[in-house]
Amino acid sequence: MKQAILLVLLLLNVIITYSQIANDTVDLSEFEVVSSANPVKFNNISRTLHIITRDEISSAPVSSIDELLKIYGGIDIRTRGSMGVQSDISFRGGSFDQGLVMVNGISLNDPQTGHHNLSQTIDIEDVDKIEIFEGPGTRWFGANSFSGGINIISNKPSTRSISLSLKGGQHGYINGKVKGSYKLGNIINSTSAGIKRSGGYITNTDFNIININHSSHYNTRNGDIAINLGLLDKGFGANSFYTPKYPNQYEHIRTYFTSVAFETGLKVKFSTVAFWRRNNDRFELFREDKNWYVKQNEVYINQADTAGFPAPNGLYPYKGHNYHRTDIIGVDAAIRFNSFMGNTSISLGLKSESIVSNVLGEPMPDTVFIAGTDGYYDKSKRRNNANISINQFYSFNNISVSAGLSLFHNNEFGTHISPGIDIGYFINEYLKIFANANQAIRLPTFTDLYYQGPTNISNPNLKPESSISTEVGIKFFNNHFNASISGYYRMGSNIIDWIKYSPEEKWQSANLSKLNTYGFSLSANKRFSKGVFNYAGIKYSWLNSEKDNTDIISLYAMDFLTHNLNLFLSHDIIEKLSTTWTTTIQKRNGSYIDYGTGRETQYATVVLLNVKLLYQLNNFEFSVSGSNLLNKKYYDIGNIQQPGLWIIGGVKIKISK
């Protein structure tokens, strides 16, 4: 990787050189980073933060939010299914359960499992920008903002328009979407609906995804009201998703979301939002379909094959699918104001998380049959969270200080206080050094607590995990260029992972006593207003983790990206025709047991090259994109093969009034 590091430094020098001679009308330092508690300008934040803008989203050679995060976010996205089917998100070596996912400032982590955190109802074409913060955010957003997070900001309709798009490509891929913005009285609305499907790049990787979104904005004398509604329905072949021993897995997820937000005030600003998210999950270890397994007399059969598990006295038959339904219901409220002490923000969050299932939770007094199936819920669990955050921002001369704490209470796990402080010093108008120290906690998911199966043992006595993170760095920003480099150290306690002491044992969820993670990251992003270049960027990170007990076998904690390099460049070819190139180079720590050979296999270095050609003519857009142009065979997760070369073409028409 020495060559990769030298390449990083060379490209960083080139970008900085261009930044000194080019002009731009976009002031990156004036971007406002949004949260329900305390919107802050980009240059006042004394921590590592990235923003993916709408221009970058529209020109990126991607078809889903997880693909966008992988090449532009500089974070670890471990993909199981393609095109947004399912991916795990990880920040700074944290697990897929330790990162926070927000939509318009609302925390929406799924309490069942982090595998569903990116299954949100917002589609990539409905996104205005994505904010990515690295490091803990518990003192702002409450529990589960452990190692980093993202905030997905949706578009706000401003004109009357309608757009239609259609894409198609290899592996029977088709993607159609219609979106309209319109005004009813004083209410501005936007409604979109899309469908995305494919026959799959290998056996049992097909998918069918439906996404519907609606938003309404109403400006009154007393304040602004925003309403959001969303539906995500996706069914997909889950080839080897959770175990390579049974490749004919299938999963169907249906997610509902609604929120109502209100904001008012000039000098003293008050905001509140009420929200609800429901996620229905049906997992089939043996796929039930006329072309797969069909249930006959309480047994699932595929021609001469009976679905089941080896047992001493023969075959133990597969009894049926796993059903889960999780609900998140909550309300957040915040007040912020300026005084001689600076900017003060106080927020309160109340949230109820619940699950009904036939696998996860505690026994129910009565069973509940699931409509449209032969399954039933016989287990459930509910927990309630309350969080109060108080944060103060103050600047004097060239120094800025942000300090505060979160007081979090859960009816199962008690009360936790998470303080933190961020300090910045402006060397000049464009250059800033910073340091921060913050504490964070994460609650175990319902899967952590209750899942057990042929190879797993549950542990309902898990404790929340906690950490103390420190970071130092330097930032450069002006009206066309920003760059940063930082180093960090995270001391983790009671870290939750699935472990065992010998290969023959079952996996059991447990609290590791200590897991310390350290590393550094650098990034640079340049936007151009003249010449052939549109924007260019680079992100690189290196990290390492150390656990105090080296005798245990860990399932997740040590499979982190040691090296992660992302390069992207957008430029014009001729008038109205532009292209965007992205390159990702990753080296993952750890290994997996190759199911075909039975051998321990180290993760290989992955090099991915993607491109998109975009031609814009009046109200029309024509595009051709290619992912994995080098047609590399690679794995983000052991034994789950990712797609090779995939070409997609599309057309979009937009009419504004």
Mean pLDDT (whole number) for 88-92: 96
| Strand residue runs (E) in 220-361 | 224-237, 250-264, 268-284, 294-296, 299-302, 305-306, 308-311, 314-317, 322-339, 342-357
CATH code of the domain covering residue 451:
2.40.170.20
DSSP-derived pairing of the beta strands 322-339 and 342-357: antiparallel
Give the separation between CA 500 and CA 506, rounded to whole angstroms: 7
- Say yes or no to pLDDT of 107 above 90: yes
Q: If we measure between CA atoms, which residue out of 647, 523, 602 comes closest to residue 134?
A: 523
Question: How high is the mean pLDDT of the chain?
Answer: 90
pLDDT tens by residue, 592-643: 889 989 898 999 999 999 999 999 998 999 999 999 999 999 999 999 999 9
Q: If we measure between CA atoms, which residue out of 213, 249, 206 comes closest to residue 231?
A: 213
- Say yes or no to pLDDT of 547 above 90: no
- Say yes or no to pLDDT of 25 above 80: no
pLDDT tens by residue, 481-539: 999 999 999 999 999 998 888 877 888 999 988 899 999 999 999 989 888 999 999 99
| Residue 298 in domain | no
| Residue 524 in domain | yes
- Say yes or no to pLDDT of 11 above 60: no
Question: Could you write out the DSSP letters of every residue in 452-514?
Answer: -BTTEE--TT---EEEEEEEEEEEEE-SSEEEEEEEEEEEEEEEEEEEESSTTSPEEEEEEEE
| Residue 105 in domain | yes
pLDDT of 33 reads: 57
- Between the CA atoms of 541, 546, 552 and 558, what dihedral angle is there, to the nearest 10 degrees? 0
pLDDT tens by residue, 114-159: 999 999 999 999 999 999 999 999 998 888 899 999 999 998 877 7
Chain CA centroid to CA 467, Å: 21
The answer to whether 207 and 200 are in contact (CB under 8 A) is yes
Strand partners, 524: 483, 538
Q: If we measure between CA atoms, which residue out of 538, 532, 614, 611 comes closest to residue 571?
A: 532
C-alpha distances (whole Å) from 88 to each of 114, 224, 398, 417 are 7, 35, 40, 28
303: region left, alpha or beta (phi > 0 left; psi from -120 to 50 alpha): left
- Say yes or no to pLDDT of 34 above 90: no
| Residue 437 in domain | yes
| Residue 121 in domain | yes
Mean pLDDT (whole number) for 466-473: 97
pLDDT tens by residue, 291-317: 999 999 889 999 989 999 888 888 889
Contacts of 320 (CB under 8 A, 6+ apart): 374, 375
pTM to 2 decimal places: 0.92
Range of the domain at 179: 2-285+321-656
| Residue 26 in domain | yes
Please give the residue that has the higher pLDDT: either 50 or 579: 579
| Residue 302 in domain | no
Q: If we measure between CA atoms, which residue out of 155, 15, 132, 129 comes closest to residue 535?
A: 15
Number of domains in the chain: 1
Strand partners, 325: 280, 356
| Residue 294 in domain | no
pLDDT of 3 reads: 45
Give the separation between CA 398 and CA 426, rounded to whole angstroms: 5
